[in-house]
Amino acid sequence: MVEIGYCTRCSTQPPEENQILQELSYAKNRSLKDISRQINRYKSMKEKATQNLAGRQKEKESKLAEYEQELKQYEEELSYEAMERLMHGEEVGAIAENIMSDEMRLKLEQVINSLKYQPKEVSYKDVEDALKEYEQRGYIDIEGERVRITSRGARVLAKMALQRAMENLIKKEIGPHPIKESGYGSQIGTNSRRYEVGDEYELVDIEKTLLNSLERNGRVNLELKDFQVFETVHQTRICAGLLIDESGSMQSDHKIKAAVEAALALSELMIREPKDKVLVFLFSEKVKQIPPWDIVNSMIGGGSTDIRAAMRAFRKAAGHERGDKQAYLITDTEPNAEDGMYVGFDRAMEGVLQEALRYRENGITLNIIMLDQRPQLREFARILARKNLGRVMFTNAQNLGGVIIEDYLRTKKEKSFV
Does the pLDDT at position 219 exceed 80?
Answer: no
What's the confidence (pLDDT) of residue 377? 85
Contacts of 113 (CB under 8 A, 6+ apart): none
Which distant-in-sequence residues (6+ apart) come within 8 Å of 198 by Cβ? Answer: none
Other C-beta atoms within 10 Å of 32: how many?
Answer: 17
Closest listed residue to residue 330, CA positions, set 409, 383, 270, 407: 407
180-194, 212-226, 373-387, 399-413: lowest mean pLDDT where? 180-194
Are 130 and 121 a contacting pair, CB within 8 Å?
no
Phi, psi of 44 (to 5 degrees): -65, -40
Domain boundaries, given as residue ranges, for the chain: 16-149, 186-234, 238-415
Residue 366 has pLDDT above 90, yes or no: yes
Cα 47 from Cα 56, distance rounded (Å): 14
Amino acid at 196: E
- pLDDT(175) > 50: no
Q: What is the mean pLDDT of the chain?
A: 80
**How far apart are the C-alpha atoms of 134 and 137, rounded to whole Å?**
5
Continuous H helices in 218-306: 255-271, 295-298
Q: What is the DSSP letter of 93?
A: H
Say if residue 12's pLDDT is above 60: no
Least confident of 99-108, 257-266, 321-330, 350-359: 99-108
The CATH classification number of 238-415 equals 3.40.50.410
Q: Does the pLDDT at position 121 exceed 60?
A: yes
CA 270 to chain centre: 14
Residue 187, Cβ neighbours under 10 Å: how many?
A: 12
- Residue 328 has a pLDDT of 95
Separation CA 241–CA 281 (nearest Å): 7
- Which residues, at least 6 apart from 58, have a Cβ–Cβ distance to it below 8 Å? none
Mean pLDDT across 121-137: 82
Give the lowest-confidence range in 202-216, 269-283, 351-365, 370-384. 202-216
pLDDT of amino acid 180: 37
Q: By mean pLDDT, which of 174-178, 287-291, 408-412 is the weakest?
A: 174-178
183: three-class secondary structure by DSSP: coil
User: Using CA atoms, how far apart are residues 207 and 219, in angstroms rounded to an integer?
Assistant: 14
- Exposure b/e, 140-179, CB count within 10 A at least 16 = b: beeeeeebebbeebbbbbbbbbbbbbbeebeeeebebeee
User: For position 119, what pLDDT does the model report?
Assistant: 66
Least confident of 89-93, 105-109, 354-358: 89-93
For 301-334, write each residue's pLDDT tens digit: 678 899 999 999 999 999 888 889 999 999 998 8
Residue type, 84: E
Query: pTM of the full predicted structure?
Result: 0.68
Across 57-66, 85-94, 393-402, the highest mean pLDDT is recorded for 393-402
Residues 258, 398: Cα–Cα separation, whole Å = 7
What 8-state DSSP symbol labels residue 31? B
Inter-CA distances, 335 with 180, 241, 257, 409, Å: 39, 18, 21, 29
